[in-house]
Amino acid sequence: MEKKKVIIDCDPGIDDSLALLLALKSEELEVIGITIVCGNVPVDLGVENALKALEIADALHVPVYLGENKPLKRELVTAQDTHGEDGVGECFFGKIKDGNVRDGAVDFIVDTLKNNKDISIIALGPLTNIAKAIMTDKEAFNNLSEFVSMGGAFRIHGNCSPVAEFNYWVDPHGADYVFKNLNKKIHMVGLDVTRKIVLTPNIIELIKRFNDNVSKYIVDITRFYVDFHWNQEGIIGCVINDPLAVAYFIDRSICSGFSSYTEIVHDGIAMGQSIVDKEKFYGKEDNSYILTEVDEKKFMLMFLEKLFKDKKNILKAVKEVI
Ligand code: RIB
Ligand code: CA
């Protein structure tokens, strides 16, 4: 089967790191580059955390590009309360000496799209890099194959305000610019579906039993995140948003939804809200596909089977845990 070539734009971040593992261990994908954007953590920390995920996945050859260090107009507000000071659960792993780190995330996106017609982008953070790339060369995006964004919320409450999801709240101007100028359908994997993807204590205990470097890394980086979820939302376990965007890109049957016109609110009490015009009040052309349903079990089995390929028999035997 021909691999799908993807650029992953992200702000690692605990769930971004899990999403990178999933993408790097999926034979359906060829990750041709990872572009880092400010969001969960400042961009330089994001680069460090991406390198750690690449080391765990034995994929340090994949280039990591430094991207925008602040949103288009807002000042950067990070989520280090959620992801830890270091952005990966305060494991403080230390610097990765190897790795293929380069400047120029925006130029990499533009140049890659200009010279290839089979590239997709999976965006797991604020859309600042993507907005800057479109501003740099909108034409190049005519070659873009597909675009999936973890972000937004349709009918479910936000996680940064009653209505706003973090990625679109951090840089609402960037998000809205992308929704208005990408000229490709944005598959919006929002909180409506990602909130249903929970690493429960049972699943974390199962992962711990697999006892390899991937399992240790996952258990270590999610510990802080589990505490945050209990203290903040009274959830036992932790919601892992970003891996669902990768899983959906690989297998569209995992989620379902509808086509719509969507805008992002720039400021005021609803700043960052994704306004999804499902009833077509504005009469504008659909620019997005809004995911509202998800097969959680199908996701979790894919996630675990791809990360622990040699444990497939165990996973089949413990399906009820999942
Ligand atoms: O709102 C959740 C999203 O914001 C996830 O992508 C998380 O990593 C943060 O970037
Ligand atoms: Ca993210």
Would you state the pLDDT for residue 315? 79
Q: Hey, which CATH number is domain 4-198+241-292, 3.30.1360.30, 3.40.50.10320, 3.90.245.10, 3.30.360.10? A: 3.90.245.10
Are the CB atoms for 148 and 122 separated by under 8 Å?
yes
Q: What is the pLDDT at residue 321?
A: 62
Q: How many CA within 13 A on the CB side of residue 9?
A: 31
Nearest Cα residue to 152 out of 195, 182, 181: 195
> In the 8-state DSSP scheme, what is residue 87?
S
105 close to 68: Cβ distance less than 8 angstroms: yes
* CA of residue 314 to ligand 1 center, whole Å: 30
The residue with tokens 């009833």 is: 279
Which amino acid is located at 304 in the chain?
L
Q: Which residues surround ligand 2, an ion (CB under 5 A)?
A: 11, 13, 16, 124-125, 242
Question: For the segment 58-67, what is each residue's pLDDT rounded down to a tens digit?
Answer: 999 999 999 9
Amino acid 255 reads: C
Average pLDDT for runs of 10 along the chain of length 322: 96 98 98 98 98 98 98 98 97 93 98 97 99 98 98 98 98 98 97 97 94 97 97 94 98 98 98 98 98 97 94 77 66
Structure confidence by residue, pLDDT tens digits, 120-161: 999 999 999 999 999 999 999 999 999 999 999 999 999 999
| 124, 192, 196: residue to mutate for ligand 1 pocket, most atoms within 8 A of CB | 124
Residue 217: name the closest of 25, 61, 33 by CA. 25
Q: Give me ligand 2 centre to Cα 282, in Å.
A: 30
Are the beta carbons of 49 and 19 closer than 8 angstroms?
A: no
Best residue for ligand 1 mutational test, from 241, 244, 248 (most atoms within 8 Å of Cβ)? 241
Place of tokens 């079990």: 297
* pTM (predicted TM-score): 0.97
What residues contact 316, with CB distance under 8 A and at least 6 apart? Answer: none
